[in-house]
Amino acid sequence: MKDKSELQAFLVTTTTAMNPQVTPLPTAPLFALGHVVSTPAALKAMYAADVEPVSLLGRHVTGDWGNLDKHDKQLNDLAVGDGTRILSANDIAEGQRIWLITEADRSSTCFLFPSEY
């Protein structure tokens, strides 16, 4: 994707195509995602829980950090501007939390379980 507007259009189109009940993203992406990857276990768990990875990705890139404490959310807000690592966490099922980590150099974003870090 060439720029942030293309990414937003992709996320909105993909998300709404998969679930017509989804409201399009209200804001533009805050940072580059780089290559988006997932561990096999995280991907399998998301699909088993009927959670679309693109919906979590859309939340992550627009600043919805999920189930983090206030301090970690503030660190992410700073990371958007200073180029450090960004982490969000989402509970996808009882006892199952998925992390999304965007690397400091914005080369990649990975879905994984905390135990896989």
pLDDT at residue 28, as a whole number: 86
Q: Tens digit of pLDDT for each residue in 51-89?
A: 999 999 999 999 999 999 999 999 999 999 999 999 999
pLDDT at 12 over 60: no
Instruction: Please report whether residue 31 resides in a domain.
Output: no
- What percentage of the chain exceeds 90 in pLDDT? 75
> Residue 16 falls within a domain, yes or no?
no
Q: Which tokens go with 78?
A: 């700073």
Phi, psi of 96 (to 5 degrees): -125, 115
Supply φ then ψ for residue 20, to 5 degrees: -60, -15
| pLDDT of 87 | 98
103 in any annotated domain: yes
Percent of the chain with pLDDT over 70: 78
Q: Which residues of 33-49 are buried (b: 16+ CB within 10 A; e: fewer)?
A: beebebbeebeebbeee
Other residues' Cβ atoms within 10 Å of the Cβ of residue 57: 22
- Examine residue 32 and state whether it is found in any structural domain, yes or no: no
Residue 43 lies in a domain: yes
Q: Tell me: pLDDT of 3 over 80.
A: no
Total domains present in the chain: 1
Residue 84 lies in a domain: yes
Range of the domain at 97: 4-11+37-116
pLDDT at position 21, please?
56
